């Protein structure tokens, strides 16, 4: 009998499976609205001009190990990017550790909360959310519970707040700093203030999953508004999990950072040591290439300027595609209210169509999307948006 006899087959991750089916489809005009990766106006992956510039400089930086906590120039620049101008930064209260992209940042966060004795038994996530939140925090050993987040194309603020008010003591709250995945609905500033007040009153530990800073609005500062409100205005301790996958197009380089804001420099020093210890126990030390690119982008003034333009290029194109899809559906008089397409923001749009309609679009039109009816707006372009609108129109009639 096999040592693995008790193992149970785990079905493939549904979004990666959508990509697999898309890649295997031979139809010329197939459309991939599945995986959340930016595409240019020709439907092609886009190497950011700023990243090209940085790659020319990084060229041959060797193959040695990084320190356990990662490339210092990268960590400093990433921390400054979010926390510049804050008391937390001025007072050396931000501990950081380079991570294996945003996913690895969450992993380090979860492990470090445990090792540092943060009193968290339950991790609250949103319903719906990025599917890995549940898997990842459960695997670390937390109880994971969901708070209602979405109703009728909008953030369901009332239900969310009511559930948060009833949350367990000893908990952490995972918030999407901006560009909520999959709904594209973010709290307003006033709503964030109310959420923060509850977090503060209940002593809940805040975790910002920040996979889209700068990608959402084109401005990192604007996208980091909620983080700064919690950390600077309220003076709370918090964790920020960053990814440069979307904002620099460094998907495969796995470039990210966990930042933990503590209430004193002494505590931050301790937390930093625990972050490094969690790193050592899991991946030993982080990948070097993406960190060198990101550090070069952030630390070279003319490349940093180009990066700001690149963020605007990506966010503007996505916004334009939202508008085009919406306008097409309007002119087709497609049944239903589609205004959520233009009120939602970020990479994704939540279509709210049924599983049967989703599979109809795949079989008849070769249009691929997540089984939640989330579409990656970045997959749309002038060449396919009319086709997608017509297909949607057909599917919902
Ligand atoms: N968190 C959210 C909400 C995401 O949407 C993603 C990517 O899709 C991630 C984290 C992590 O991505 P990565 O590990 O590729 O940086």
DSSP per position, 133-187 = HHHHHHHHT-EEEEEE-EETTEE-HHHHHHHHHTPPSSEEEEEESSS-TTT----
Q: What is the pLDDT along the chain (397 residues), one digit of tens a residue?
A: 999 999 999 998 888 899 999 999 999 999 999 988 999 999 999 999 999 999 999 987 789 999 999 999 999 999 999 999 999 999 999 999 999 999 999 999 999 999 999 999 999 999 999 999 999 999 999 999 999 999 988 999 999 999 999 999 899 999 999 999 999 999 999 999 999 999 999 999 999 999 999 999 999 999 999 999 999 999 999 999 999 999 999 999 999 999 999 999 999 999 999 999 999 999 999 999 999 999 999 999 999 999 999 999 999 999 999 999 999 999 999 999 999 999 999 999 989 899 999 999 999 999 999 999 999 999 999 999 999 999 999 999 9
pLDDT of residue 13: 87
**Is the bond preceding 128 in cis, omega lying within 30 degrees of 0?**
yes
Q: Is the CB of 218 under 6 A from ligand 1?
A: no
CA of 390 to the centre of ligand 1 (A): 31
Q: What is the ipTM of this complex?
A: 0.99
What is the rounded distance in angstroms from the CA atom of residue 340 to the CA atom of residue 325?
A: 11
CA–centroid distance, 38 to ligand 1, in Å, is 13
Tokens of 315: 């966010």
- Residues whose CB is less than 8 angstroms from the CB of residue 356 and which lie 6 or more positions away in sequence, other chains included: none
**What's the 208 CA to ligand 1 centre distance in angstroms?**
12
Instruction: Using the atom order of ligand 1, give the atom closest to the CA of residue 246.
Output: 16
Instruction: Give the pLDDT score at 14.
Output: 87
What is the atom index within ligand 1 of the atom nearest the CA of 106?
10
Q: Is 215 in the pocket of ligand 1 (CB under 6 A)?
A: no
Entry pTM: 0.97
Looking from the CA of residue 256, the nearest atom of ligand 1 is: 16
CA distance linking residue 243 with residue 297, whole number of Å: 14
Q: Which residue has the tokens 């495969």?
A: 252
Pocket of ligand 1 contains residue 290 by CB under 6 Å: no
Cα 181 to ligand 1 centre (Å): 9
- What's the maximum distance between 2 C-alpha atoms anywhere in the chain? 63
Q: Is the CB of 102 under 6 A from ligand 1?
A: yes
Q: Which atom of ligand 1 is nearest to the CA of 251?
A: 15
pLDDT for 169:
85
At 313, list the tokens: 């290029």
Q: Give the sheet arrangement for strand 255-261, strand by strand.
A: 94-100, 255-261, 238-243, 205-210, 171-176, 122-127, 143-148
* Cα distances (Å, whole numbers) of residue 347 to 38, 113, 137, 184, 367: 8, 30, 24, 7, 17
């Amino acid at each position: 009998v096999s040592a693995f006899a008790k193992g149970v087959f785990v079905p493939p991750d549904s979004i990666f499976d959508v990509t697999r089916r898309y890649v295997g489809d031979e139809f010329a005009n197939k459309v991939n609205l599945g995986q959340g990766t930016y595409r240019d106006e020709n439907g092609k992956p886009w190497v950011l001009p700023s990243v090209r510039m940085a790659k020319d400089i990084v060229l041959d930086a060797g193959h040695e190990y990084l320190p356990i906590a990662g490339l210092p120039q990268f960590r400093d620049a990433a921390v400054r990017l979010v926390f510049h101008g804050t008391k937390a930064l001025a007072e050396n209260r931000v501990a950081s550790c380079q991570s294996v992209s945003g996913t690895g940042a969450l992993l380090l966060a979860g492990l470090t909360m445990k090792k540092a004795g943060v009193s968290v038994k339950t991790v609250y996530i949103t319903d719906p959310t990025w599917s890995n939140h549940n898997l990842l925090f459960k695997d670390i050993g937390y109880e994971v519970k969901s708070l209602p987040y979405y109703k009728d194309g909008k953030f369901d603020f009332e239900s969310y707040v009511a559930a948060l008010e009833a949350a367990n003591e000893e908990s952490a709250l995972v918030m999407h700093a901006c560009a909520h995945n999959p709904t594209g609905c973010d709290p307003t500033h006033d709503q964030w203030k109310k959420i923060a007040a509850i977090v503060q009153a209940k002593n809940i530990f805040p975790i910002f999953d920040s996979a889209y800073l700068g990608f959402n609005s084109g401005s990192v500062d604007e996208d980091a508004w909620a983080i700064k409100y919690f950390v600077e205005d309220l003076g709370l301790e918090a964790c920020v999990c960053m990814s440069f996958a979307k904002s620099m197009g460094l998907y495969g380089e796995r470039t990210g950072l966990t930042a933990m804001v503590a209430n004193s420099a002494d505590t931050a020093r301790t937390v930093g040591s625990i972050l490094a210890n969690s790193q050592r126990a899991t991946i030993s030390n982080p990948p070097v290439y993406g960190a060198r690119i990101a550090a070069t982008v952030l630390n070279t003034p003319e490349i940093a300027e180009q990066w700001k333009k690149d963020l605007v290029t990506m966010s503007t194109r996505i916004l334009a595609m939202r508008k085009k899809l919406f306008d097409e559906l309007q002119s087709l008089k497609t049944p239903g209210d589609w205004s959520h397409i233009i009120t939602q923001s970020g990479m994704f749009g939540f279509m709210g169509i049924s599983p049967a309609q989703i599979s109809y679009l795949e079989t008849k039109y070769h249009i691929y999307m997540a089984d939640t009816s989330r579409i990656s707006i970045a997959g749309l372009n002038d060449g396919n948006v009319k086709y997608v609108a017509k297909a949607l129109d057909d599917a919902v009639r």
